[in-house]
């Protein structure tokens, strides 16, 4: 099984930008922790970061038929991108949205969320730990899907 983690604009600047909001952890540190969870769970994980909306859309589309789950922090595109929303909807892969800060307690424009309605779940405001929560959640979702598929196979064989 494979999880693809997609990071949006400015997340490559974690640890540098607005540490009072996003904390001191760098993206590479977050990814290292996620990789450890994936490895311990026997799951493949791939990381992708782009500041460009079209590249994020392309990556989501590449997940179709290749990934069993996506974890995405669309960052500022969360509030504006119908293209990313449509790509998530099109691939029909379990998707967990992550935001380091609590977007509901920030500026008014951040309260508009274009992608949440097409995601399986959202995790906001837990800082970098939100990515760990997303990993645990995605592993659970993937296990439930696998168990359901196995039950269907057994029913068909009976």
Tell me which residues are annotated as active site: 22, 99
Half-sphere exposure of 107 (CA within 13 A, CB side): 5
Residue 69 CA to its chain's centroid (Å): 8
Compute the distance between CA of residue 145 and CA of residue 15 in angstroms, rounded to an integer. 36
CA-wise closest residue to 81 among 107, 31, 116, 122: 116
Compute the distance between CA of residue 54 and CA of residue 95 in angstroms, rounded to an integer. 18
Compute the distance between CA of residue 19 and CA of residue 56 in angstroms, rounded to an integer. 25
CA-wise closest residue to 50 among 80, 30, 19, 27: 27
CB distance 23 to 127 below 8 Å:
yes
Length of the chain: 158
């Amino acid at each position: 099984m494979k999880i693809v983690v997609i990071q949006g604009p400015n997340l490559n600047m974690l640890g540098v930008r607005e540490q009072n909001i996003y904390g001191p952890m760098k993206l590479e540190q977050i990814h290292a922790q996620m990789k450890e969870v994936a490895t311990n769970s026997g799951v493949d994980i791939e990381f992708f970061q782009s500041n460009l909306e079209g590249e994020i859309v392309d990556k989501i589309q590449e997940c179709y038929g290749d990934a069993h789950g996506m974890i995405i922090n669309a960052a500022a595109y969360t509030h504006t991108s119908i293209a990313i929303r449509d790509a998530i909807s099109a691939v029909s892969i379990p998707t967990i949205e992550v935001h380091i800060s609590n977007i509901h307690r920030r500026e008014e424009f951040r309260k508009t969320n274009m992608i949440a309605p097409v995601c399986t779940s959202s995790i906001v405001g837990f800082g970098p730990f939100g990515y760990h929560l997303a990993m645990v959640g995605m592993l659970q979702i993937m296990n439930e899907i696998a168990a359901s598929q196995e039950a269907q196979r057994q029913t068909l064989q009976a």
